[in-house]
Amino acid sequence: MSTAASGAKDQVARLLTLVPFLHAHGQVRVDDAAAALGIPPEQLLSDLKVLLMCGLPGGYPDDLIDVDLDALEGPEADGVIRVSNADYLARPLRLTPTEATAIIVALRALRSGAEDETREVVDRALAKLEAAAAGASAPQIDPGDDALDADRVRLATRLQDAATRGVQVEITYFVPSRDEESERVVDPRGLVSAHGFTYLDAWCHSAEAPRLFRLDRIRKAEVSDQPVVTTADGPRDLADGLFTQADGTTLVTLRLDREARWIVEYYPVEAVRSRRGGVLEVDLRIADERWLQRLLLRLAPHARVLSPPEYDEMFTSRAEDTLKLYR
């Protein structure tokens, strides 16, 4: 970490300590505050100048905290810190229903992979948040323009709760590769995020294998009272990618000309190897060969399958059938 980055990180930590200190003590001398906070008076003065640029969203003068610098610098300075326009610091934090639900979902996801000591802290925070959310009356919940996001957050909360309680869920899921909806019974394991999307990691009884279900493609979810019949340690770690060999996927190697190189930026791939003339060899996992066929038809004639060879034969046959429709 660079010195500048480290200094900024340390200053943020000091400001997070300084703000509640000043709110609790009111007017206090610079020397006394510096001694209490364990920093030099010069550093405290520098932090106070940064505090001038902090406040509520908006950035207008009335939104920012006001620090009387004349009392800290100059011939008439008395060395007393005076902070104003920060009354909102005394008000308790108020979360919207969507914000509270999002925090609850995140805490439950954190709890599933946490150690016992961390779980105790998470459980206390969850208890407070859920009690507050339960006490909120229905008329206060107005998703407004963010109705879709609010619905998705509520769906995430229900699914994570089902995973925590160990009960099955019946979902209606849209499968884009087949352009159809399917009904499935799943054993939920938890929520995970990757590439900007949130997924339900679950055992699918229709596929008889673990599957990832994107939340924005779940059309309906009904939580049942039936306990799950499969066991798992929790949601998988997606740091190594969305798919693994255990998902029933197939590793495919493609040869891509320059015109088709864009798919490396658009789709998660396992490996990329450069060849002469700007050609790439790309390894990626697919769960549905029909999706691969449609992709290759879009890329033709700038892509072909190197392995498995039967996939190349399958695509060639499909391409010939497609061309016959234009003759």
Contacts of 305 (CB under 8 A, 6+ apart): 252, 253, 254, 255, 292, 296, 311, 312, 315
Taking only the tens place, the pLDDT of each residue in 97-139 is: 667 777 777 777 776 666 667 777 777 777 777 666 655 543 3
Cα dihedral across residues 53, 56, 60, 65: positive or negative: negative
One pLDDT digit (tens) per residue for the chain, 327 residues: 444 444 666 777 787 778 778 777 778 898 888 888 888 988 888 888 887 777 666 555 566 777 888 888 877 788 898 887 666 555 556 666 667 777 777 777 776 666 667 777 777 777 777 666 655 543 333 333 344 456 777 888 889 889 889 999 999 998 765 567 889 999 998 888 766 678 888 888 887 777 888 888 899 999 999 999 987 666 766 555 555 544 567 888 999 998 888 877 667 777 889 888 889 999 988 777 777 888 888 888 888 889 888 877 777 777 777 767 776
> Under a CB-based contact definition with an 8 Å cutoff, are residues 185 and 199 in contact?
no
Q: In what order do the strands lie in the sheet with 250-256?
A: 271-274, 280-286, 250-256, 303-307
- Determine if the peptide bond prior to 235 is cis (ω within 30°): no
CA distance 177 to 183: 16
> Under a CB-based contact definition with an 8 Å cutoff, are residues 316 and 310 in contact?
no
CA distance 281 to 277: 12
> Under a CB-based contact definition with an 8 Å cutoff, are residues 65 and 86 in contact?
yes
Q: What is the 3-state secondary structure (H, E, C) of the chain?
A: CCHHHHHHHHHHHHHHHHHHHHHHHCCEEHHHHHHHHCCCHHHHHHHHHHHCCCECCCCCHHHECEECHHHCCCCCCCCEECEECCHHHHCCCCCCHHHHHHHHHHHHHHHHCCCHHHHHHHHHHHHHHHHHHHHCCHHHCCCHHHHHHHHHHHHHHHHHHHHHHCEEEEEEEEECCCCEEEEEEEEEEEEEEECCEEEEEEEECCCCEEEEEEHHHEEEEEEEEEECCCCCCCCCCCCCCCCCHHHCCEEEEEEECHHHCCHHHHCCCCEEEECHHHCEEEEEEECCHHHHHHHHHHHCCCEEEEECHHHHHHHHHHHHHHHHCCC
Give the CATH fold of the 3-90 domain. Arc Repressor Mutant, subunit A (1.10.10)
- Quote the pLDDT of residue 147: 44
CA distance 208 to 211: 9
Domain ranges of the chain: 3-90, 97-137+145-227, 249-324
- Quote the pLDDT of residue 146: 42
- Quote the pLDDT of residue 105: 76
- Quote the pLDDT of residue 169: 95
CA distance 160 to 180: 25
pTM reported for the whole predicted model: 0.39
